[in-house]
Structure 1
Amino acid sequence: MSTDTSPLHRSHPPSQQVRPTASIRPRGLLPRWACAVLAACLALAVLAVGPHAPKADTSSITGDKDLAKQVISLLPDDYRARGIHVSVITTEGARHAGIGTAASGQQYTSTTPMEIGSITKTFDGQLLADAIARGEVKASDPLSTHLPELAGTPAGEATLEELASHRSGIPGVPSQDLSRFVLRGDILGLNPFTDNTDQLIEKTRTTEMGKRGEFAYSNLGISLLGEALRRAAGAESWKSYASERLFTPLGMEHTTLTAGQSEIPDGAIHGVQANGRRGQSLSGPGSNPAGAGVWSTPEDMTRYAQAVLTGTVPGGAAPQEARWPAEVLAGFQLPGEKVGYTWYTDVVDGHTIIGHGGTTMEYMTHLAIDKESGKAVMVYTDQNTDGTAAALAAALLTDGQKASSARLPVPTEMLLQGMILGIFTILALVMGLYTAARAASAPSRMAVVCRVSALLACLAAA
């Protein structure tokens, strides 16, 4: 088959030598240097002017209007989210206020299902104390006593008490899954908690351990604790176990644990990430005890907070005792911060506050309780990037001032990871846009790779 691409094909006599001619490379639409500059500018533009979380419509209010006005006055000037819901709770009742309108057009009400995230961990703390009182487990039980699959492993030696206080040495997620969590959660905005309980246990057998006895926040550790308690009680699932021991006694009829996206409750509001993009809701039965896929309404969380205030919550007050030093945010030791069985304790303006926060792909939440004053605050914010929920809860409990900024301090290692990701994103965009700007020709394998890389980078940046 002839490969001559000249306009006029003609043969040459055998005796005549044809001098090879240099291949003629198609000219680009723009000079190479201009393409490179254009690509860099476009890459930076994508990162700089991409979508951002919108500000809440403060004219859209549900519930207690006076409380809503107080909340609005306490919000930081740079706070960005579509909406927020706050409940101020006493043993006699509660005031609820919703501000803003979701992308779906829904308003935030006291009956709206929203993700509570890691506030769920306080359920585990209460259930551990309840199981101890029932004689089903001991605080000093090694994890392998109830999960024999972990016998002979470092993780199996950790006690239930160490798991509940984040001092087991078990990492936050299985060490072999770190890159997958970054890719799915941080870059693609997808639910990273996809493993079932058996898969989590198998990965725990070979995971790299931290230093036992030192505080290190662990979703994996709490998930294993929940499974251990479930087995000790002989329950079919952690969902049925939590429902029987906690939700049903407290009348929390609208608190739901999901194993997949299809189980998200009707009427649920989905939040957004910092760039305005909706993240995929968390789900997965293996990580339900840690807070993945747990939805509740402000009214249900009011019942829970009231039970804590009155001492009628299953497990009683023992889990809430401040016993060990802790960190709320990795790398930041807060003055007076301690942990009990999953509950944190801190002293703010003379008020001793117990509580816990939650972060999902779509929400940041916070439950704060001042038992001495008989008051609690539950906050839902439908974005997942700042400390507004915790700051607002503390301000409402202590009559404090509004936070000057919604931004959280960023640990050095997280800042470094973000810089590296940003550099590679820009490089991928530059390479892809440069090859796309070249004159049309049969694409080389390298060009195809560059374009695919640019597409993935655009998805990450967006």
Structure 2
Amino acid sequence: MTATTSAPAGVGRRIGTVAAVAAVLAVLVGVVAGPEHRRLGPQTTGDPALAERIRAAAGGHGGYRSLAVAEVTPTTVTTSGLGPADIGAPFEIGSVTKTFTAALFADAVTRGEVRPDDPLERALPELTGTPAGAVTLASLAQHRSGLPALGATAAARALATTVNLNPYASTTTAQLLDDARAAAVDPQQPPTYSNFGVALLGTAVVRAAGADGYPQLVADRITGPLGMTSTSFAATGAQVPDTAVPGHRDNGRPAPRWAGEGYLPAGSSTFSTVDDLARWAAAQLTGAAPGTGALVPTAQDDPGTSIGWIWVTSGATGADGARYPYVWHNGGTAGFSSMLALDREGGRAVVVLGDTTAGVEPVARTLLFGTPPSDDGADLLAWAPAAIAALFSLLALRRALREGALLPIADGLLTAVFGLVLLWNRGPWASVGGWVWGLALAPAAAALAVAVLRGRGLPLHPAGRTVTAWAGPGVSALLVAVVVWAG
């Protein structure tokens, strides 16, 4: 049993006063410097009427910071933006890039460069005799190849996405092909969204066209002819546009940039503007884009959902309760979310770009069809770190007041630090601001103040526990290191 001590009344009052002051200061720190409440900023640019509709479409959903939107018809484009981001600057568009790859594939079929039933090894002879080499280009475009979601190199770095690093940095095109040579193919695998498969599809189309890389083929056949002058690719960090909008993590802090060559056709690191993507959407509606055959469904997924060459066709419920079909693809990176949705029957399209990870799909559906706005706040699971942090802070205060040695008090404080860092990184910041972090910090700050006041009169470790007393603080320090690294 750990010894406990009690302080004389006068000392106890002084400890209580200092602890209370520390707690109040902690709350103030949370309010002033805590995690940012992720919500749409008050700034408005572009068309005022569209801006008003965007804000209404965002509903009560927290998590957005800035939104850049284009409403498109075959002959008109209306743009508007909310929040501090420059509406004309490039955003990371993530897997919306796959619509370029879809178009290049369909266009290559039209040109006679490839056939849908070609095995992958026909364009990429390095894969001859391998399971991956035998899958068809069509199966890659339909996410039905049996390949995994990621190649081995990117999969090994998948943890990087949870620690705010770049999962695609180490995969060059050569490494992508090495991963494909070693990849297993599961013929019984249900349709599985595969960045690996789409990256290989894009690589095959580039090779069949004789192009000097994916960015060059996109420039030759898509962005150049359509005048999409602000769309670019970052195979390395040095190729990120200087004017690119910064992305934001869940706690409002800047997100890392993704860059990598091998997964460019899947959307690892593509930058584009709402104006460029509006041109792309309009070209889908008018047929001016290459490879519009990719929009046509070729396979059924879930009931009510089908897939063409990468493009997905689903239904949305309008304000009148009717179901409306639309063709779409979304995207997401470490600090961005994107959506391109086409109402082909109505001759309309919407592009929505956001500078946080909060999904923008509901905004697109509301703008297109009047689908009721989402009123969801943060995921309830996001409140779990708040509960953990508050509990650990309270326990730290209890131990600081009651323990009779320094190491158990240090253990409690380190555990509180673990909870506070976890809350900082993964808290409910789509719903609330830093004051919640300040409230969780308050007991820990009070505990630290109490520990300082009591510490001079306490032994380092409880009697008889010279070695084992270090175990608790050691484990807690390790947890702190892990959660800081994963931040």
Q: 1:354 to 1:126 in 2, by over 3 A?
A: same
Q: How do 1:382-461 residues align onto structure 2 when only pairs under 5 Å count?
A: 382-384=355-357, 386-387=358-359, 389-405=360-376, 433=414, 439=460, 450=475, 453-460=478-485
172-181 or 114-123: which moved more?
172-181
Residue among 346, 363, 369 paired with 1:373 = 346
Q: Secondary structure at the match of 1:112?
A: coil
Deviation at 1:126, TM superposition (A): 0.7
Q: Secondary structure at the match of 2:263?
A: helix
Q: How do 1:116-265 residues align onto structure 2 when only pairs under 5 Å count?
A: 116-175=93-152, 177-182=154-159, 184-186=160-162, 188-194=163-169, 195-211=171-187, 214-265=190-241
Q: Secondary structure at the match of 1:380?
A: strand
Report what 1:364 is aligned to.
Answer: 337
Aligned partners of 2:65 and 2:355 also within 8 Å: yes
Aligned partners of 2:336 and 2:356 also within 8 Å: yes
Following the alignment from structure 1 to structure 2, what is the Cα–Cα distance between the partners of residues 324 and 430?
A: 57
Q: Secondary structure at the match of 1:286?
A: coil
Deviation at 1:30, TM superposition (A): 9.4
1:116-138 per-position Cα deviation (integer Å, ceiling 9, x unaligned): 10011011111011111111111
Q: Tell me, which stretches of 5 or more residues in structure 1 are unaligned?
A: 1-26, 32-44, 102-106, 327-332
Following the alignment from structure 2 to structure 1, what is the Cα–Cα distance between the partners of residues 52 and 189?
A: 45
Residue among 305, 315, 327 paired with 1:347 = 315
Q: Secondary structure at the match of 1:216?
A: coil
Aligned partners of 1:118 and 1:358 also within 8 Å: yes
Q: 1:240 to 1:52 in 2, by over 3 A?
A: same
Aligned partners of 1:87 and 1:94 also within 8 Å: yes
Report what 1:280 is aligned to.
Answer: 256
Q: 1:242 to 1:443 in 2, by over 3 A?
A: farther
Aligned partners of 2:414 and 2:477 also within 8 Å: no
Q: Secondary structure at the match of 1:345?
A: strand
Deviation at 1:461, TM superposition (A): 6.2
Report what 1:18 is aligned to.
Answer: none
Following the alignment from structure 2 to structure 1, what is the Cα–Cα distance between the partners of residues 137 and 235?
A: 25
Deviation at 1:309, TM superposition (A): 0.3
Q: Tell me, which stretches of 5 or more residues in structure 2 are unaligned?
A: 7-25, 318-322, 393-409, 418-450, 452-458
Following the alignment from structure 1 to structure 2, what is the Cα–Cα distance between the partners of residues 160 and 120?
A: 18
Deviation at 1:282, TM superposition (A): 1.5
Deviation at 1:148, TM superposition (A): 1.7
Aligned partners of 2:226 and 2:279 also within 8 Å: yes
1:1-42 per-position Cα deviation (integer Å, ceiling 9, x unaligned): xxxxxxxxxxxxxxxxxxxxxxxxxx99999xxxxxxxxxxx
Q: 1:434 to 1:264 in 2, by over 3 A?
A: closer
Displaced runs of 4 or more, over 4 A: 27-31, 49-53, 406-410, 429-432, 434-438, 440-452
1:160-218 per-position Cα deviation (integer Å, ceiling 9, x unaligned): 00001100011111246535212x111x2011011101111112222343445731000
Aligned partners of 1:370 and 1:397 also within 8 Å: yes
Aligned partners of 2:74 and 2:285 also within 8 Å: yes
Q: How do 1:24-173 residues align onto structure 2 when only pairs under 5 Å count?
A: 52-101=35-84, 107-109=85-87, 111-173=88-150
Q: Secondary structure at the match of 1:54?
A: coil
Pairs aligned (count): 392
Report what 1:34 is aligned to.
Answer: none
Q: 1:434 to 1:455 in 2, by over 3 A?
A: closer
Deviation at 1:446, TM superposition (A): 7.3
The AA in structure 2 aligned to 1:280 is P
Deviation at 1:77, TM superposition (A): 1.3
With normalisation by structure 1, the TM-score equals 0.76
Following the alignment from structure 1 to structure 2, what is the Cα–Cα distance between the partners of residues 191 and 151?
A: 31
Deviation at 1:442, TM superposition (A): 12
Following the alignment from structure 1 to structure 2, what is the Cα–Cα distance between the partners of residues 196 and 213?
A: 26
Following the alignment from structure 1 to structure 2, what is the Cα–Cα distance between the partners of residues 176 and 296?
A: 27
Report what 2:443 is aligned to.
Answer: none
RMSD over aligned CA atoms reads 3.5
Following the alignment from structure 1 to structure 2, what is the Cα–Cα distance between the partners of residues 166 and 83?
A: 32
Q: 1:443 to 1:430 in 2, by over 3 A?
A: closer
Following the alignment from structure 1 to structure 2, what is the Cα–Cα distance between the partners of residues 162 and 136?
A: 17
170-179 or 226-235: which moved more?
170-179
Following the alignment from structure 2 to structure 1, what is the Cα–Cα distance between the partners of residues 413 and 61?
A: 34
Q: Secondary structure at the match of 2:262?
A: helix
Q: How much identity, in percent, do the aligned residues show?
A: 32
Following the alignment from structure 1 to structure 2, what is the Cα–Cα distance between the partners of residues 250 and 92?
A: 14
1:300-336 per-position Cα deviation (integer Å, ceiling 9, x unaligned): 00110010000111113x111122133xxxxxx5x41
143-152 or 219-228: which moved more?
143-152
Aligned partners of 2:414 and 2:473 also within 8 Å: no
Q: Secondary structure at the match of 2:222?
A: helix
Deviation at 1:155, TM superposition (A): 1.2
With normalisation by structure 2, the TM-score equals 0.72
Deviation at 1:258, TM superposition (A): 0.5
Q: 1:450 to 1:93 in 2, by over 3 A?
A: same
Q: State whether structure 2 residue 299 is matched by structure 1 residue 324.
A: yes
Following the alignment from structure 1 to structure 2, what is the Cα–Cα distance between the partners of residues 252 and 397?
A: 23
Deviation at 1:84, TM superposition (A): 1.1
Structure with the higher fraction of residues in helix conformation: 2
Q: 1:259 to 1:99 in 2, by over 3 A?
A: same
The AA in structure 2 aligned to 1:96 is T
Following the alignment from structure 2 to structure 1, what is the Cα–Cα distance between the partners of residues 296 and 336?
A: 27
Following the alignment from structure 1 to structure 2, what is the Cα–Cα distance between the partners of residues 237 and 450?
A: 49
Q: Secondary structure at the match of 2:157?
A: helix
Following the alignment from structure 1 to structure 2, what is the Cα–Cα distance between the partners of residues 247 and 160?
A: 23
Deviation at 1:439, TM superposition (A): 3.8
Q: Secondary structure at the match of 1:458?
A: helix
